[in-house]
Structure 1
Amino acid sequence: MRHLHLIALVALVLLLGTGAHAREYGTHDPKRLLTVTETPSGKQYGFDGAYLDQMLNDLATHAKNYPPQFDTPQDRQRATQDVKVISGMLDTLVNVPTPNPDLLLRAAHLGSMGHNLEIPGAADKANALFQRLLQLEPAHPRGNYLYGTFLAGAGKPREALPYLEKALAAGIADAAFTLGMAHLSLKDQDGALKYLEDYKRRRPGDANADRFIDAIRNGRIEIRSR
């Protein structure tokens, strides 16, 4: 899948700032995800979901969107390696007849971030995992939101719309912002304004929506695809 670049000529400078840097990517140990507990009947093996979420949250800070934002090339390298290792671990847990939906969601989200990090095969894996999740739970709010966000960022904004709309209807406010950007990438400025203004009502403290709304209204948005 190709990435779609939304270039807001003035708004992007306002949004990201000049010379802005992401915060440092943390140091994580994927081996900690596997747990071993001694019991009277022997060792029991488990998976530390809380630590997984900690790692995913850190990764999302840097690689939820394209292009990923890292403070240094070394941080990006470490994140890329973490995604590869965690993905391999999750494969053994989700490649079963009845996978846990929460693990499917996390594995799919990880794959979408791997795609943003340009890991070969990550996009196809993410797409397959999201589809498996939504076959099990078609109304899954966060599953629809993350899948729609993935599709929009992978250059498929039109395909993303129904998933994002379903997520928005389920109460995920951030879906309104992504819907606005998806419509913007489709050169539908009226639709983009509609959803960005909806997002602004839901998240009145987020200045990003104001910047994009202002840029659209004043003709300072240019859409280019790579």
Structure 2
Amino acid sequence: MRSIFLTVVLIAVTGLSAKEVSLSLKSIDSTLSVIAPHAQDFPPSFSSVAERRQIEAQLRELLVMLDAAVAQYPDNPELLFRDGFANAMGHNLDFEGCAQKYFKAFDRLLELKPNDSRANFYYGAFLSATAARQKDSIAYLEKALALGVTDAHYTLAFVYLSQGDKAKALSHLREYAKLHPDEPAIVQKISEIENARIEIRHEPPPNYDEMLKKKEPNSERSAAP
């Protein structure tokens, strides 16, 4: 995999003057894998104030580089996906402007690759956690499901539950349970919904971060055009 070479203004993050930075998808994914366990879900999770500060500093620096990379290669799907994923975590940490940058990255990614299963799933999952656009998430999650992302069953279940459609919520959870018989907690959730004992809240699917590691067929290519 070739590195991406770009010029990034790092003054706001490191106090350094503008310089050329070598960036690769491998290095981006390495940093994302450190940040994701803390910030990919809401609310974020940290063991201490110091840990939060460290993770926030890492994410801010990565966002500067990713935003600059996307500005240089605006039609690169792999960069757009990672920029969107990082900005989603920035949004969870209340970084200003990250939600808008997330939408911009994924809107462009889906223009370039409307049948990208991973992009449809992540976009749908992000929308499902918003109040204003939760209903919009259904189309993306259903498309991701049609494209083979079975974890979309789980997210759709909680979207429909939030929308008051218990029948569809149970249908998707039951399908998810069939595909994941090793997850007894899902059977318990189904029972709780059937007996109206479950608290309605948005939850990411198990192994949500594993989608970051999956690539579309024939997508192994350089990040640089």
TM-score (norm 2): 0.75
Task: Give runs of aligned pairs for residues 111-190 of structure 1, distance below 5 A.
Answer: 111-155=87-131, 156-190=133-167
Q: Distance in 2 between matches of 1:98 and 1:55?
A: 21
Aligned 8 A contact 2:120 2:141 in 1: yes
Amino acid at match of 2:64: G
Q: 1:198 aligns with which of 158, 161, 175?
A: 175
Aligned 8 A contact 2:75 2:112 in 1: no
Correspondence for 1:58: 34
Q: Distance in 1 between matches of 2:91 and 2:183?
A: 27
Residue ranges of structure 1 left out of the alignment (5+ in a row): 1-32, 37-43
Does residue 213 of the first structure (1) align with residue 190 of the second (2)? Answer: yes
CA positional deviation for 1:77: 2.2
Correspondence for 1:70: 46
TM-score (norm 1): 0.74
Q: Relative to total residues, which structure has the larger strand share, 1 or 2?
A: 1
Distance 1:98 1:191, change over 3 A: same
Deviations 1:184-213 (A, max 9, x none): 111211111111111112222223422321
CA positional deviation for 1:217: 1.2
> For 2:193, what is the secondary structure of its paired residue?
helix
CA positional deviation for 1:98: 4.3
Q: Distance in 1 between matches of 2:187 and 2:50?
A: 34
Deviations 1:27-48 (A, max 9, x none): xxxxxx9889xxxxxxx96313
Distance 1:208 1:100, change over 3 A: farther
Aligned 8 A contact 2:142 2:152 in 1: yes
Distance 1:97 1:75, change over 3 A: closer
Does residue 87 of the first structure (1) align with residue 63 of the second (2)? Answer: yes
Q: Distance in 2 between matches of 1:147 and 1:187?
A: 22
Q: Percent identity?
A: 35
What is the aligned-residue RMSD (CA, Å)? 2.4
What is the number of residues matched between the two proteins?
186
Residue ranges of structure 2 left out of the alignment (5+ in a row): 7-19, 203-225
Superposition misfits of 4+ residues, deviation over 4 angstroms: 33-36
Correspondence for 1:8: none
Aligned 8 A contact 1:93 1:99 in 2: no
Distance 1:214 1:74, change over 3 A: farther
Aligned 8 A contact 1:177 1:209 in 2: no
> For 1:46, what is the secondary structure of its paired residue?
strand
Correspondence for 2:79: 103
